[in-house]
Amino acid sequence: MATVELVRFRVAPERTDALLEARPAMLEAFRADREGFLGARLARLSEDEWLDIVDWRSPEDFAASRAKGANLPGIAAFFAVIDELISSEEGTPLPMGTPSVVGFDDLPQTEHAHEFVGADHGQVPFSIILVHAAPGAGPRLHRHPYPEVFVVESGEASFRLGDDTVVVGGGQIVVGPANVSHGFTNTGTEPLRLTAIHGAAAFATEWLTGPDAVWASNPKG
Query: What confidence tens digit (pLDDT) does each residue in 1-33 have?
Result: 788 899 999 999 999 999 999 999 999 999 999
Residues 178-203 have a mean pLDDT of: 95
Phi, psi angles (nearest 5°) of residue 213: -60, -30
Average pLDDT, the chain: 91
In this predicted structure, what is the pLDDT of residue 37? 94
Looking at the structure, tell me whether residues 9 and 84 fall in a common domain.
yes
3-state secondary structure of 120: helix
Asked if the structure places residue 14 within a domain, the reply is: yes
**Domain-embedded: residue 113:** yes
CB-based burial of residue 75 (10 Å sphere; 0-12 exposed, 13-18 middle, 19+ buried)? Answer: buried
Domain boundary, last residue among 44, 59, 91 = 91
Domain identity same for 197 and 127: yes
Do 208 and 143 contact (CB within 8 A), yes or no? yes
The domain total for the chain is: 2
Q: Same structural domain for residues 85 and 117?
A: no
Q: What is the structure's pLDDT at 201? A: 86
Indicate if 34 and 112 belong to the same structural domain.
no
pLDDT(93) > 80: no
Do 129 and 166 lie in a common domain?
yes
Residue 90: per-residue pLDDT: 83
Domain boundaries, position 68? 3-91
Whether residue 34 is found in the same domain as residue 82: yes
With a CB cutoff of 8 Å and minimum separation 6, the contacts of 55 are: 2, 3, 4, 5, 37, 38, 39, 40, 93
142-155 pLDDT, tens digit per residue, is 999 899 999 999 99
Domain end point (choices 58, 91, 124):
91
CATH number at residue 147: 2.60.120.10
- Clarify whether residues 18 and 84 are in a common domain: yes
Q: In what order do the strands lie in the sheet with 37-44?
A: 37-44, 49-56, 3-10, 84-91
Structural domain ending residue among the three candidates 91, 121, 144:
91
For the whole prediction, is pTM greater than 0.75?
no
Could you tell me the CATH number of the domain that includes residue 61? 3.30.70.100
In what helix (H) or strand (E) does residue 18 lie, and over which residues does it extend? Answer: helix 16-33
